[in-house]
Amino acid sequence: MGAVGIVLAGGRSSRMGAPKAHLEWHGVTLLRRTVGIVGRAVEGDVVVVRAPGQDLPDLPDDVEVVDDDQEGLGPMQGLAVGLRHMADRAALAFLCSTDLPFLHPNYVRRVLAGFDDDTDAVVPRARGHRQPLAAGYRTTLAPTVERLLADGARKPAMVLDACRTRWLSDEELLADPALAATDPELTSVRNINTPEEYDAALAEPLPQVTVERFGTLARDGGRGECQVAAATLGATADAVGITLDRHVVAALNGERITRDPATPLVAGDRIAFLSADAGG
Amino acid sequence: MAGGYFNQALLVDLGTGHGRTVPLPDEVLRRYLGGVGLGTWLLHELSDPSVDALEPASVLAFVFSPLVGTPLTTSAKFAVVARSPLTGMLTDALASSHFAIAGKLTGHDAIAVQGRCERPSVLLVDGDGPRLVDADDVWGRSAEETEAVLGQRFGGGWRIAAIGPAGEAGVRYATISHDGRHAGRGGLGAVLGAKNLKAVAVRAATKVAIADPDGVLAAARDLRERSFGPATAKYRELGTLGNLLAFNAINTLPTNNFGASTFAEAPALAAEELHDLRHVARASCASCSIGCEHIYATKGGGSTRVEYENVYALGPLCGVSDPDAVLSASARCDELGIDTISAGGTIAWAMSCAEAGLLDLPWLRFGDGAALLRALDEIADGSGIGPLLAEGSARAAAQLGPAAQALTVTVKGLELPGYDPRTLPAMALGLAVNARGADHNRSGAYEADLGGELDRFAPGDAHVTAAIETEDRAAIIDSMILCKFLRGVFEEPFEEWSELLTLVTGWLMDGDELRATARRIVLAKRMFNLRAGWTLADDGLPRRLLDTPVTLESGRTVRLDEPTLTRMIAAYHRGRGLDGDGLPDADAYADLCLSDDLPDPARPGSTNPPEPPATLQPTGARP
């Protein structure tokens, strides 16, 4: 059974002054992007854990939303709800917060690859900090987290002290060639908490992706590869003059087929635009 | 009488030359429409499914449809239906040409043959009924030459469907063709060859009434306009070969007998490349406004039509990247009258066997274009490895033993088309359960895998639903008949198709009726197969696909998980209303309108040969 994804959408966003889930990120919301990136890296389902009554932006149909019915207990409560919800679907989960606009699927894969039979949690110490909100957890930890919560614990770090945690250094993370090639600065864990951080993040260059068009979509000199700077599939299509209507689909890195313009892209992605009619 | 029909089929006894009319009541025509649907019903009624396809008692039917002869674009199509000598089960193959129009306007909704000619013959059918004439001067010739010679002999107005040398020689994947369009899969040409019937010539003799001629004309204008739109652009601009590079990019281009799902040298065979270097012309079938046929120059000054399936099977599947060799092989298959997919699939299997030391053929290696051409020549002239390969890969492997059988990639004995099931789970199911065997035309489930709505690496219930839905759509479009390349222009296909049929027939049809019709046609095919010896165990995919994973560019390994496939097949059976023996309930069976009782799965092939319908009337004789 493949790993699942848990994205925590709760939190007050008090320093940001606006709900992080709704922040615009190059044409999509930040939550949509984070959910999409996690979904690209895990084989199982993705669930969003939200605060009671929290308004969320539009999400893909296959993303579940569960309510954290106890307000004010912080991300540890979200961790408990998410792990409990996914316990019967997969042994492993990647959990993260919403505010990781540079999260890369290769980071998620690298973290999940850190599990072995003797590990309950895989947590990077990246960019000088522990990263419990961009980490992997065994879903059987749900009762442990719930017990700690009942005992008054509020920080995910306390869970890590109570289970078999494997810590991953920058060097260990970057020993993965795919991650080293696509996110050498480990910006995957760069979160945004203030308007200034948000503005600075938005000002960063867009991901460079490789585009190839096939068949009739390659007419008028469109054959061969080209490079495009774009954060979403929709922006990429626009950049090469393709309309993502029912006659067109895109293959993401030769694997996932989609025409959802909100599909998030990251550095190193390869996009193949194809005719949706594969008859022959 | 409903518009678009003559309410009768012609059944010709090739032993005597006598023809008989088989009444086709409205009740049957409305239930089965025409094409593969009506052909399936006719095979049930006229033949014993347990009779070997190459025995004289087998029946082969050319079946037309209510839309044939109307101005609706792509409607000039006919189906050929028989028990397959390759699979032992029902096979139905379509072709598009003026043969469909002339054949129907002989005054019949179908022309069926049974028995065996005393000597090589041609069957002529027109307003004077059927008669047999000698074929000595065309026996041994290609279908194209045969059409030319007989056209000269018979004069104007005749349309001639013929077999090539492969059909005469009993190659189990021989085709029947007219005007270069082949009814390709399942070995129908070998059935005609076994009957000593080189060709069937038809000439229009009458007209067919249409319920609402003005309505049909308006619908035809509208459909024609839509056929120029984006839904058919791929076919117009590059043809089906436009799939090749795209499929390679998404790991679904079977290569080296399914040893891989990408072909590093694919660009050399791509439409984008060949179009610039070799494109000669574009052509259309009769009554077609799409024009999907792309003609390419071959080495030596010739030219040939090129389709994705031809290039896939004779190129990547055999590891051959030399366009001269692939195009020459494709042209050679057309000349011989053999199905390119089964030819390529069988040769690719033999290459695997040679590589594994199971066949002592050091010259037969993946990637060797000369070896590919030599293998085709030996199939054609019966020399060397030819007789073994003429059996198709499944039968050939059975002669060599389990190690060779483990290298086959067939479903129900039919070699796979160019869609890798390991990366297309809905298509995997469609291929596994289809009545004709591994078939991309009767199951278009790849649409679901590649449509962007489903996760093609996480198969589930939605993929099963999609496989059923696309199989249903194919059942209708192959029975009306329209070209599948037109399907993208329909946004609500069942509803829009029912409107077209209502205009032609006068029956007030709707989408729900057509959905029920589709289910009925699919079920009727399965019931024929059950009588022919099919069991539920025949629904599945070959071991080689289950045992050989595919590695994606990302390094991720995907495999066709057998328990998952088994669950999907079971869900498909439930979705089709079949019980554990593959049988429907009594009501569903009664709805098939068949003369025979529900078959007994414990006694496959036990059905007694049906008596000819009491109403058959003689209509002609050997001159």
Superfamily of domain A4-197: Spore Coat Polysaccharide Biosynthesis Protein SpsA; Chain A (3.90.550.10)
Cβ distance A280 to B418 less than 8 Å, yes or no, reads yes
Give the nearest chain A residue to B249 (CA atoms). A254
Q: For residue B589, how many other CB atoms are within 10 A of its CB?
A: 18
Strands A165-168 and A121-126: parallel
Q: Is B451 on the interface with A (CB under 8 A)?
A: yes
Q: How far apart are CA B61 and CA B57, in angstroms?
A: 13
- Of the residues A252, A257, A271, the best mutation for testing chain B's interface (the one with the most B CB atoms within 10 Å of its CB) is A257
Instruction: Round to whole Å and give the CA distance between B58 and B71.
Output: 35
The amino acid present at B177, given as its one-letter code, is S
**Per-residue pLDDT for B174 more than 60?**
yes
- Measure the CA angle with vertex B194, ends B190 and B196; round to 5°: 115
pLDDT average, residue stretch B417-441: 95
Cα–Cα dist B125/B102, whole Å: 10
Within an 8 Å CB–CB cutoff, is residue B554 touching chain A?
yes
> What is the reported pLDDT for B612?
37
For B488, the closest of A218, A247, A256 (CB atoms) is A247
Report the 10 Å Cβ neighbour count for B394: 26
Question: Using the beta-carbon criterion (under 8 Å), do A215 and B234 form an inter-chain contact?
Answer: yes
Q: Note whether B489 and B231 are within 8 A (CB).
A: yes
Residue A279: which of B250, B485, B552 has the nearest Cβ?
Answer: B485
Instruction: Using an 8 Å CB-CB cutoff, list chain A residues near B440.
Output: 279-280
Assess B442–A contact: CB distance below 8 Å, yes or no. no
Q: Are strands A121-126 and A46-50 parallel, antiparallel or unpaired?
A: unpaired
What percentage of chain B carries pLDDT values higher than 70?
96
B513 and B579: one domain?
yes
Cross-strand pairs, B203 = B158
User: CA-to-CA distance for B115 and B13, rounded, in angstroms?
Assistant: 6
The residue-averaged pLDDT of B366-392 equals 97
Beta-carbon count within 10 A of A245 CB: 10
Is the pLDDT assigned to residue B166 strictly greater than 80? yes
Inter-chain CB proximity B250 and A43 less than 8 Å = no
Distances (CA, A) of B273 to A65, B238, B241, B331, B548: 48, 10, 11, 19, 31
| Residues near B30 by beta carbon (within 8 Å), at least 6 away in sequence | B2, B505, B507
SS3 content of chain A, % helix, strand, coil (to 5): 30, 25, 45
Render pLDDT for B206-259 as a digit per residue (tens, 0 to 9): 999 999 999 999 999 999 999 999 889 989 999 999 999 999 999 999 999 999
**Chain B residues inside the 8 Å CB shell of A274:** 246, 249-250, 450
Residue B433 domain flag: no
Strands in B293-354 per DSSP E: 293-297, 303-306
Cα–Cα distance for residue pair B423/B458, rounded to 1 Å = 10
Residue whose tokens read 């003689």: B618
CB-nearest partner of B242 from A215, A245, A255: A215
Domain extent at residue B457: 444-590
> What's the distance, CA B491 to chain centroid?
25
Rounded Cα distance between B328 and B373, Å, is 8
Over residues B86-96, mean pLDDT: 96
- H/E stretch holding B95 reads strand B90-96
Which two tokens mark A59? 């999400």
**Are residues B122 and B201 both part of a single domain?**
yes
pLDDT of residue A10: 85
Which residues does chain A have with pLDDT short of 70? 1
In this structure, the answer to whether residues B66 and B198 fall within a common structural domain is: yes
- Whether residue B495 sits in one domain with residue B405: no
Q: Pick the closest to residue A86 from A104, A71, A100, A66 (CA basis).
A: A66
- Asked whether B424 and B449 are in contact (CB, 8 A), the reply is yes
Q: Which of A216, A260, A269, A273 to mutate to test the interface with B (most CBs of B within 10 A)?
A: A216
Q: Does B153 map to a domain?
A: yes
Q: Where are the beta strands (DSSP E) in B37-89?
A: 59-63, 77-83
d(CA B98, CA B178): 8
Contacts 24+ apart (CB under 8 A), A139-145: A139/A4, A139/A83, A139/A86, A139/A87, A139/A89, A139/A90, A139/A91, A139/A92, A139/A93, A140/A87, A140/A91, A141/A83, A142/A80, A142/A83, A142/A84, A142/A87, A145/A76, A145/A79, A145/A80, A145/A83
What DSSP assignment string belongs to B413-439?
A: TEEP-S--GGG-HHHHHHHHH-TTSS-
Of B198, B164, B193, which is closest to residue B85 (Cα–Cα)? Answer: B193
Extents of the domains making up chain A: 4-197, 208-275
Residue B232 lies in a domain: no
Instruction: Express each pLDDT in B430-458 by its tens digit.
Output: 999 999 999 899 988 999 999 888 888 88
For testing contact with chain A, the best of B74, B272, B440, B564 (most A CBs within 10 A): B272
Query: What is the distance in angstroms between the Cα of B445 and the nearest Cα belonging to chain A?
Result: 10
**Residue in A closest to B451 by C-alpha:** A276
In whole numbers, what is the pLDDT of chain A averaged over residues?
Answer: 94
Percentages helix, strand, coil for chain B (3-state, rounded to 5) are: 45, 15, 40
B372 within some domain? yes
> Are the Cβ atoms of A255 and B243 closer than 8 angstroms?
no
Q: How far is B131 from chain A (nearest CA, A)?
A: 37
Q: Is the pLDDT of residue B534 over 70?
A: yes
Check if the beta carbon of residue B9 is closer than 8 Å to that of residue B21.
Answer: yes
Ordered alpha helix ranges (H), A30-104: 30-41, 75-86
Q: How far apart are CA B246 and CA B68, in angstroms?
A: 34
Cβ-count burial A81-97 (b if 16+ within 10 Å, e if not): bbbbbbbeebebbbbbb
Per-residue confidence (pLDDT) for residue B614, from 0 to 100: 36
- The total domain count for chain B is 3
Residues B387 and B259 in one domain: yes
Query: Is the domain of B252 the same as that of B397?
Result: yes
Distance CA B50, CA B180 (A): 32
B181 in the same domain as B63:
yes
- Rounded CA-CA distance B92/B593 in Å is 20
Q: Which chain A residues touch B455 with a CB distance below 8 Å?
A: 256
**For B132, phi and psi rounded to 5 degrees?**
-105, 140
Contact A257 B418 (CB under 8 A): no
Please state, in angstroms and as integers, the Cα–Cα distance from residue A178 to each residue in A131, A183, B223, B295, B550, following that order: 20, 8, 50, 44, 20
- Interface residue B185 vs chain A (CB under 8 A): no
Q: What is the pLDDT of residues A76-115, one digit of tens each?
A: 999 999 999 999 999 999 999 999 999 999 999 999 999 9
- Write down the pLDDT at residue B622: 37
Claim to verify: residue B189 and residue B56 sit in the same structural domain: yes
- Which residues on adjacent β-strands are paired with residue B410? B415
| pLDDT the model gives residue B516 | 98
Q: Which residues pair with B110 in a beta bridge?
A: B9, B63
**Contact call for B249 and A272, based on CB within 8 A:** yes
Q: What is the CA radius of gyration of chain A?
A: 19
What residues of chain A lie within 8 A of the CB of B250, using their CB? 251, 254-255, 257, 272, 274
Structure tokens at A278: 């594969």
pLDDT digits (tens, 9 = 90+) for B451-490: 888 888 889 999 999 999 999 999 999 999 999 999 999 9
Q: Which of residues 28-67 of B touch A (CB under 8 A)?
A: none
DSSP readout, B105-116?
TTT-SEEEEES-
Supply the DSSP string of B168-186, one letter for each residue.
HHT-TTB-EEETTEEE-TT
Of B237, B447, B555, the CB nearest to A219: B237
**B340 assigned to some structural domain:** yes
Asked if the Cβ–Cβ distance from B447 to A278 is below 8 Å, we say yes
- Residue of B232, B424, B450 to mutate when probing chain A, most A C-beta within 10 A: B450
Beta-carbon count within 10 A of B23 CB: 12
Topology (CATH) of A208-275: Ubiquitin-like (UB roll) (3.10.20)
**Could you tell me how far CA B443 lies from the centroid of its own chain?**
11
A→B contacts (Cβ < 8 Å), by residue, are 43, 178, 212, 214-216, 218-219, 223, 245, 247, 249-251, 253-260, 270, 272, 274-280
ipTM of the shown complex:
0.86
For residue B141, pLDDT over 80 is answered with yes
Which tokens belong to A195? 């308007």
Partners of B123 in the β-ladder: B132, B200
CATH code at position B567: 1.10.599.10
Q: Which of B231, B246, B309 sits opposite A215 (nearest CB)?
A: B246
Distance from CA of B286 to the nearest CA of A (A): 19
Query: pLDDT value at position B610?
Result: 37
Residue B618 lies in a domain: no
- Those residues whose C-beta lies under 8 Å from the C-beta of residue B575, and which sit 6 or more positions away, are B464, B465, B468
Answer whether residue B600 is part of any domain.
Answer: no
Contact A214 B246 (CB under 8 A): yes
Torsional sign, CA B269, B272, B278, B280: positive
Q: Give residue-wise pLDDT tens across range B321-366.
A: 999 999 999 999 999 999 999 999 999 999 999 999 999 999 999 9
Quickly count: other Cβ atoms within 10 Å of residue A203's Cβ.
7
Q: Is A212's CB within 8 Å of B440's CB?
A: no
Whether B621 shows a pLDDT value over 50: the answer reads no
Across the A:B interface, residue pairs with CB atoms under 8 Å apart total 107
Nearest CA in chain B to A258: B452
CA B223 vs CA B100, B231, B288, B290: distances in Å? 20, 12, 11, 11
Identify the CATH number of the domain in which residue B167 sits: 3.60.9.10
Q: Which residues of A touch B554 (CB under 8 A)?
A: 178, 253-255
CA–CA dist A110, A107 (Å, integer): 5
Give the residue, A206 or B617, on which the prediction is more confident.
Answer: A206
pLDDT tens for each residue of A186-219? 999 999 999 999 999 999 999 999 999 998 898 8
8-state DSSP, A95: E
Residues B456 and B405 in one domain: no
Pairing, β B617-620 against β B19-23: antiparallel
Give the C-alpha separation, B64 to B78, whole Å. Answer: 5
